[in-house]
């Protein structure tokens, strides 16, 4: 998953467990980089994947869907299933699965094996993001936790900038299989680095209820989670199919495609750095306005997408808002559930991954059946629904329900 919340550890942490392992924090950050790169690599490689495996672009886009589906299942159950297991070895096991996933995908002889490899990365996504922040909070002293979480997010942001354009560039240079395999050596480095830098982190007494769905009984949480889900669904029903859109409609070549994807990533990084100042007083204006603007941008692509210049400009603005918006949703979570943020964080991971899965799936079906206009039009409608949900959540908040 591309976002990390400011959640509390999922286990009781003894004072001596905070070892000040900044090397471990950096290893976790590199792990986040490798994971985000693996998760969204298909976005920039849909066309060659589809051609090589003799499937449609919509079917290739389900590589995002299947990873999201397995991430949902993993995020909901990993804490209860691994209770009592040393978190160091659990994380190493997940990185090992990432290595296997990248290897399987890069040599997949058919669509079934390809999707199996993507399912494995979904397990890693759900497990890693469910415990990453809590793990980092056990590595450093309490007053250093904000800085450590910022470093962890740095790997996420850097992957957002690099993964898509690098995938497109490497795909043209060494093929889509080679592009996927390039993540494997990085994952091996992460495994070895975490092996030597992470201390033993035994799972102690848990304070979280195993039933995260109990939070949905609160109207504000239910409506807010719906808004978050609609936002990510609308975003990825469009963004998953950016490459075939640019190639079919704007007729861009590989180098131009890589440059546009780089612009999206860089603008997203800038947006992430700037959005904090807008969230100091209230998160709701940001949560309401951003999806509405993104809906307008989707319509702009429908009207002006045949121009390479206009597509590049619109998608650059899209990246500015799309990448920074999740920061607003995690801030909303921390302020809405300050005493139950761990359970809320697990629920948010599941909601986001399910939304990504549904968005990529619906977008692929529409793209194959009716073309990009239907895909982008539905994306705009979903994003407007996300804006209205955030508006409704704001009204519930003001009413104190």
Written as six digits, the tokens of 51 are 């051609």
Tell me what the mean pLDDT of segment 246-254 comes to.
89
Q: How high is the pLDDT of residue 342?
A: 57
pLDDT for residue 24 is more than 80: yes
Question: How far apart are the C-alpha atoms of 291 and 372, rounded to whole Å?
Answer: 19
Q: From 3, 65, 69, select the one nearest 228 (Cα to Cα).
A: 3
Residue 182 tokens read as 């390039």
User: Residue 137: which of 1, 276, 11 has the closest Cα?
Assistant: 11
Determine the pLDDT at residue 401. 64
Query: What CA–CA distances, in Å, run from 134 to 6, 23, 125, 131, 161?
Result: 9, 16, 15, 5, 25
Res 163 pLDDT > 80 = no
Contact between 40 and 163 (Cβ < 8 Å):
yes
Structure tokens at 164: 């898509």
Model confidence at 8, pLDDT cuts 50, 70, 90, reads very low
Map tokens 């922040």 to a residue. Answer: 133
What is the DSSP secondary structure assignment for residue 369, as one 8-state letter? H
Query: pTM score, two decimals?
Result: 0.73
- Which residue from 320, 314, 293 is spatially nearest to 302, judged by alpha carbons? 314
Asked if 4 and 149 count as a contact pair (C-beta separation under 8 A), the reply is yes
pLDDT at 144: 64
Over its C-alpha atoms, the chain yields an Rg (Å, rounded) of 20
Instruction: Tell which residue, 36, 312, 25, has the closest CA to residue 160.
Output: 36
Nearest to 178 by CA among 283, 61, 290, 49: 49
């Amino acid at each position: 998953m591309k976002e990390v919340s400011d959640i509390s550890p999922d286990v009781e942490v003894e004072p001596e467990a905070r070892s000040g392992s900044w090397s471990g924090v950096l290893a976790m950050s590199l792990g986040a980089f490798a994971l985000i790169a693996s998760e969204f690599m298909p976005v920039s490689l849909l066309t060659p994947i589809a051609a090589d495996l003799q499937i449609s672009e919509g079917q290739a886009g389900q590589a995002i869907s299947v990873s999201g589906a397995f991430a949902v299942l993993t995020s909901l159950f990993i804490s209860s299933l691994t209770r009592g297991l040393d978190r160091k070895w659990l994380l190493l096991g997940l990185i090992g699965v990432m290595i296997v996933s990248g290897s399987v995908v890069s040599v997949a002889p058919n669509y079934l094996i390809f999707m199996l490899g993507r399912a494995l990365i979904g397990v890693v996504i759900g497990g890693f993001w469910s415990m990453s922040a809590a793990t980092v909070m056990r590595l450093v002293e309490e007053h250093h936790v904000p800085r450590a979480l910022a470093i962890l997010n740095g790997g996420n942001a850097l992957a957002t900038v690099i993964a898509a354009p690098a995938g497109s560039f490497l795909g043209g240079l060494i093929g889509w299989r080679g592009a996927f395999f390039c993540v494997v050596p990085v994952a091996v480095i992460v495994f070895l680095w975490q092996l030597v830098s992470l201390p033993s982190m035994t799972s102690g007494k848990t304070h979280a209820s195993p039933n995260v769905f109990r939070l949905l009984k609160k109207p504000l949480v239910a409506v807010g989670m719906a808004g978050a889900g609609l936002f990510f669904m609308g975003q990825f029903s469009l963004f998953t199919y950016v490459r075939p859109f640019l190639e079919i409609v704007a007729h861009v070549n590989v180098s131009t495609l890589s440059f546009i994807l780089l612009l999206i990533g860089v603008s997203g990084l800038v947006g992430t750095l700037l959005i904090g100042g807008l969230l100091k007083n209230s998160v709701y204006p940001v949560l309401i306005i951003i999806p509405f603007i993104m809906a307008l941008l989707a319509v702009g692509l429908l009207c002006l997408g045949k121009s390479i210049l206009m597509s590049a400009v619109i998608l650059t603005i899209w990246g500015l808002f799309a990448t920074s918006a999740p920061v607003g949703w995690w801030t909303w979570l921390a302020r809405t559930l300050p005493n139950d943020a761990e359970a809320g964080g697990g629920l948010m991971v599941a909601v986001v991954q399910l939304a990504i899965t549904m968005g990529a799936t619906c977008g692929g079906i529409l793209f194959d059946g009716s073309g990009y206009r239907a895909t982008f039009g539905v994306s705009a409608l979903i994003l407007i629904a996300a804006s209205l949900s955030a508006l409704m959540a704001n009204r519930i908040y003001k009413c104190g329900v």
